[in-house]
């Protein structure tokens, strides 16, 4: 799966790569031989740290600060790079939550979460899709959530976005598989990142058969597998990585 010519290194574009799951995915794919285009929103210090780790692994890492939900921001950042190369892998990982009960949820809280988690997928994927289809190869992995499978009180906006991502994964997979582009989803449960650091462990742990939160690298390992030749017949699927929280 060469990017531009036979000898060119493979490229993975990872959104939300400065922290948490995205950082773990970027570092894992760098270890697997990919150069990384690392998107993030605004945490430059964290992104720099990820870049240094990747460079120490002997791989290139381009930092791309932009809001995945901002059409112009996406185009301005990606178009110059896409003129020279098309990524072999896209991991749509950027996400955020704004939890509150539906009866209190403002339209801003609804739209903000849908915009980053779902419209972000649309904008970034559309940017790289044509190039992947023309080349007739590519892997797209979308990071959903258990919330999008089971629902969760207080997360109507987030669950809607993540369930939307699971549906979009299936539709897009059906559209582009014949063009060599394979699309799948990973649905993490509770994983140790900034997003979950303030949650009440004592209330949540009894509901997880594994009895613990997952590690970011346990999600990254599944993403790496979905990028591999070994996963070439898995199409439009959602793999749960949740310690048994939802089966
Ligand atoms: P995190 O630690 O909060 O990191 C979020 C990452 O996304 C950061 O790199 C952040 O960039 C970036 N980001 C946020 N908004 C963005 C935007 N508008 N444009 C571009 N980048 C943006 O989150 P995480 O726990 O690693 O979550 C990663 C993904 O996994 C998300 O899609 C999340 O919904 C999903 N997930 C997480 C869990 C969990 O338990 N942690 C469970 C299920 C699903 P900055 O550093 O610049 O802010």
Phi, psi of 204, rounded to the nearest 5 degrees: -90, -40
Place of tokens 């381009």: 62
Whole-angstrom distance, CA of residue 134 vs CA of residue 132: 6
- In the reported structure, the alpha carbon of residue 20 is separated from the centroid of ligand 1 by a whole-number distance in angstroms of 7
Choose one of 46, 78, 90, 95 to mutate for the ligand 1 pocket test, by most ligand atoms within 8 angstroms of C-beta: 95
* CB 184, CB 235: distance < 8 Å: yes
- pLDDT at residue 8 in the model: 80
Mark out the alpha helices in the chain (DSSP H runs). Answer: 20-31, 44-56, 71-82, 107-114, 120-135, 147-150, 156-176, 201-204, 216-227
Has residue 159 got a pLDDT over 60?
A: yes
Which residues are catalytically annotated? 158
Strand 89-92 to 61-65 pairing: unpaired
What confidence category does residue 9 fall into, taking pLDDT thresholds of 50, 70 and 90?
confident
What confidence tens digit (pLDDT) does each residue in 22-33 have?
A: 999 999 999 999
- Residue 69, CB-side half-sphere exposure with 13 Å CA sphere: 14
- Burial tier of 157 (Cβ tally within 10 Å: 0-12, 13-18, 19+): buried
The whole-chain average pLDDT of the chain stands at: 96
Interval 106-133: pLDDT, tens: 999 999 999 999 999 999 999 999 999 9
For 17, the token pair is 């790569």
CA of 18 to the centre of ligand 1 (A): 9
How many angstroms separate the alpha carbon of residue 94 from the centre of ligand 1? 5
Tell me: the pLDDT tens digits for 47-97? 999 999 999 999 999 999 999 999 999 999 999 999 999 999 999 999 999
* Closest alpha carbon to 183 in 54, 91, 61, 64: 91
Mean pLDDT confidence for 227-239: 98
In the chain the first and final C-alpha atoms are separated, in Å, by 34
Write the pLDDT tens digit of every residue in 172-219: 999 999 999 999 999 999 999 999 999 999 999 999 999 999 999 999
Are residues 17 and 44 in contact, defined by beta-carbon separation less than 8 angstroms?
Answer: no
Confidence of residue 7 (pLDDT cuts 50, 70, 90): low
Give the list of residues 6+ apart from residue 247 with CB closer than 8 angstroms, or none.
240
Distances (CA, A) of 221 to 46, 118, 136, 242: 21, 23, 25, 13
Confidence at residue 1, expressed as pLDDT on a 0 to 100 scale: 47
- Residues ≥6 apart with Cβ < 8 Å to 24: 215, 216, 217, 219, 220
Ligand 1, closest atom to CA 216?
A: 26
Sheet with 138-143, side-by-side order of all strands:
61-65, 35-40, 11-14, 89-92, 138-143, 181-188, 238-241
Instruction: List Cα–Cα distances, 210 to 20, 205, 214, 241, 244, in angstroms.
Output: 20, 9, 9, 11, 6
Is the Cβ–Cβ distance between 219 and 190 less than 8 Å? Answer: no
Q: Which residues line the pocket of ligand 1, CB cutoff 6 A?
A: 15-22, 39-43, 46, 67-69, 93-96, 116, 143, 145, 188, 190-191, 193-196
């Amino acid at each position: 799966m060469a990017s531009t010519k036979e000898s060119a290194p493979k490229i993975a574009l990872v959104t939300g790569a400065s922290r948490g799951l995205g950082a773990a995915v970027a570092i894992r794919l760098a270890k697997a031989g990919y150069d990384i285009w690392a998107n993030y929103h605004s945490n430059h210090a964290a992104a720099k740290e990820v870049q240094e780790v990747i460079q120490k692994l002997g791989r290139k890492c381009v930092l791309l600060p932009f809001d995945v939900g901002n059409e112009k921001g996406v185009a301005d950042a990606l178009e110059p790079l896409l003129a020279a190369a098309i990524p072999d892998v896209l991991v749509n990982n950027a996400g955020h939550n704004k939890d509150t009960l539906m009866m209190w949820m403002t339209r801003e809280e609804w739209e903000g979460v849908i915009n980053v988690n779902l419209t972000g997928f649309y904008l970034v994927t559309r940017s790289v899709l044509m190039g992947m289809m023309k080349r007739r190869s590519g892997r797209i992995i979308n990071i959903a959530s258990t919330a999008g499978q089971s629902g969760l009180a207080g997360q109507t906006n987030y669950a809607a976005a993540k369930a939307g991502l699971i549906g979009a994964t299936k539709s897009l997979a059906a559209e582009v598989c014949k063009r060599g582009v394979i699309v799948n989803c990973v649905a993490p449960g509770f994983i140790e990142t900034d997003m979950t650091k303030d949650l009440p462990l004592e209330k949540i742990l009894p509901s997880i058969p594994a009895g613990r939160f997952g590690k970011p690298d346990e999600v990254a390992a599944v993403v790496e597998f979905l990028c591999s030749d070994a996963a070439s017949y898995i199409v439009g699927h959602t793999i749960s990585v949740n310690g048994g929280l939802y089966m």
